[in-house]
Structure 1
């Protein structure tokens, strides 16, 4: 059995929430109240994480697919496990496009999107090939010695730049609560907080579960607050309209920040944070997809499945999407409601069955 320690789990969950959540203006459909929508989604996200933790607590040494098999039987597990495999693969695909579009628009402008995606997937393949322990150690080192210091530096640079205009956040609640609730539930709950169901494929690797709840809630809350601060910065510096119509507003902000003769722009700092956190999230969603598949069909040769999944992602990415349609898809598609089936409906059913079985056993 392979193990993940408490510090590693905190690092993984924190970077997972941040991931690609700061690339786009989360909840901007709520206009200047987008930050309130993020906080509301965070509250709902905490409830989601609580549901996932309760399921894991009932079966501490099993992953999501194994739990489904215990509760629902083999007949249901095969189709549902395959659906979850596709779900995790789909989340991986969205993460892949987020990172590749970001890199192509800012860092690798002369490279083709296909070449960028293949480069990213080769990095992911290498991380997954090394295994969950290596991925956890890599995330721990990167988070504590690079991501967290850079985020702290970035916050101080933005505050010291004098570019923040909090009048852009007014008037508060000018449209009432309805649009905020709608955006929170239909968009922000699934991404990034609903994606945390991925950890039902990871938590069983924990060496000790003494602080699992505390670590999970703390990392989710801190990550959610950082996403909220990102949205506040976008609106306060760029305004609602410019934030809404800018492809990657966080990078526009990074070019504006100027501290006289000391620092001109934060592009490298922001680019490093977005790239690494995006890679880490993509690695764990890909891992969840592979683990879901091999658990469902009880396959021993994990590396062969890994190669197959990486090739599948390359084929789908290069034949089914383009950057423009992808961005429109993210904003207008009702797919978030479909995701809620996997992130909310099925977990609630599993939890209710857990409670029912416990009562019968008592």
Structure 2
């Protein structure tokens, strides 16, 4: 492990920004219709359950990144393969987020700009920051989380006073019962809360490891409440049907603000918000890839591979789909079928093996003492 350290506040900022990610501007949980806000809250509680699995594993081996953890629990060879699979998964999520940002800019602000140019600048910026290290990323997150909260407060204020909010769009409560909400639960718990598994790569850098539980849970709960509020605001302004049709409903929601024929065209708030959240989310996953490669292949540091892996990331973000609709389809497939292995199956298996080993060690110790 490299000797860099991040503070508790920096870890909170990174976790909060990752949870916001692209989820903030997309129609997350809308399969639950008017009760999407409730589906996200239940997903948040699902994320809390996943956290306790991750936290138990972290407490067993607090100085090891996730790739080291898999080798420690599953053995040298099987653990190495599972660690490599996690690296590929993290790289895929990073590429997915880079593509999301590029597509939003193309559809909202820079319609004539080639997607390659947008993604290239985005990836180069990430490479530069990550070359400087996780401490720089953490300090940057401390600044930008404040900017994000200010932008969010401004955007919410103008939407609420615009007169576009219709609470009838959220009624009746549980119109279709619990079934749609429970059906949406795997999606809302896996994204973004299950994706916090990537912090298993970063927790060894925390300078006060005893505060991991408080920081993780506070970031998870605060981001879950904000995401639930945001989707309910989108539905209240646009209605369920328009939110379902819209690629980026938050963009449409704030685009309806028109006060005194003067305060309007506030789309830039959403674009800048997504720029902040996606940059940090993609950077965190990218850094998880770099640290995983350093750990698995026993390299001296991550700096020598930042640019080569950045080129792979850029290439993957471009070939991921031929157009945005195909990109959305692939994303839904990943969230439905792929994430379950990396967020639930592998961690549960590691938990089970660790518990069996601990019990076996206790029996051995009790026999030796006897």
Counterpart residue number, 1:120: 122
Counterpart residue number, 2:248: 248
SS of alignment partner, residue 191 of structure 2: helix
- 1:203 to partner: Cα distance: 0.8
Within-5 A mapping of 1:159-198: 159-185=160-186, 187-198=187-198
Within-5 A mapping of 1:349-360: 349-360=349-360
Counterpart residue number, 1:155: 156
Distance 1:271 1:307, change over 3 A: same
- State the TM-score, normalizing by the size of structure 2: 0.93
Pick the aligned partner of 1:80 from 72, 82, 87: 82
Contact 2:95 2:317 in 1 (8 A): yes
- 1:301 to partner: Cα distance: 4.8
Whose radius of gyration is greater, 1 or 2? Answer: 2
Within-5 A mapping of 1:231-242: 231-242=231-242
- State the TM-score, normalizing by the size of structure 1: 0.95
SS of alignment partner, residue 137 of structure 1: helix
- 1:304 to partner: Cα distance: 3.1
Contact 1:33 1:180 in 2 (8 A): yes
CA distance in 2, matches of 1:53, 1:233: 33
CA distance in 1, matches of 2:90, 2:355: 26
Within-5 A mapping of 1:287-326: 287-322=287-322, 323-326=324-327
Contact 2:169 2:235 in 1 (8 A): yes
CA distance in 1, matches of 2:209, 2:335: 34
CA distance in 2, matches of 1:103, 1:54: 40
Counterpart residue number, 2:366: none
Contact 2:91 2:285 in 1 (8 A): yes
Counterpart residue number, 2:10: 8
Contact 1:81 1:293 in 2 (8 A): no
- 1:259 to partner: Cα distance: 3.2
SS of alignment partner, residue 20 of structure 1: coil
- 1:33 to partner: Cα distance: 1.4
Deviant stretches of 4+, over 4 Å? none
CA distance in 2, matches of 1:261, 1:315: 44
Distance 1:287 1:39, change over 3 A: same
CA distance in 1, matches of 2:318, 2:154: 37
Deviations 1:80-113 (A, max 9, x none): 1111111101111111111111111112222011
In the alignment, structure 2 segments of 5+ residues that lack a partner are 363-370
Counterpart residue number, 1:130: 132
- 1:123 to partner: Cα distance: 1.0
- 1:262 to partner: Cα distance: 6.5
CA distance in 2, matches of 1:3, 1:350: 26
CA distance in 2, matches of 1:72, 1:52: 16
In the alignment, structure 1 segments of 5+ residues that lack a partner are none
CA distance in 2, matches of 1:330, 1:29: 15
Deviations 1:234-253 (A, max 9, x none): 11000011111112111111
CA distance in 2, matches of 1:315, 1:267: 29
Within-5 A mapping of 1:7-26: 7-26=9-28
CA distance in 1, matches of 2:287, 2:276: 16
SS of alignment partner, residue 210 of structure 1: helix
CA distance in 1, matches of 2:133, 2:235: 40
Counterpart residue number, 1:50: 52
Contact 1:100 1:117 in 2 (8 A): yes
- 1:335 to partner: Cα distance: 4.9
Instruction: Report how many residues are paired.
Output: 359
Within-5 A mapping of 1:98-109: 98-109=100-111
CA distance in 2, matches of 1:334, 1:97: 15
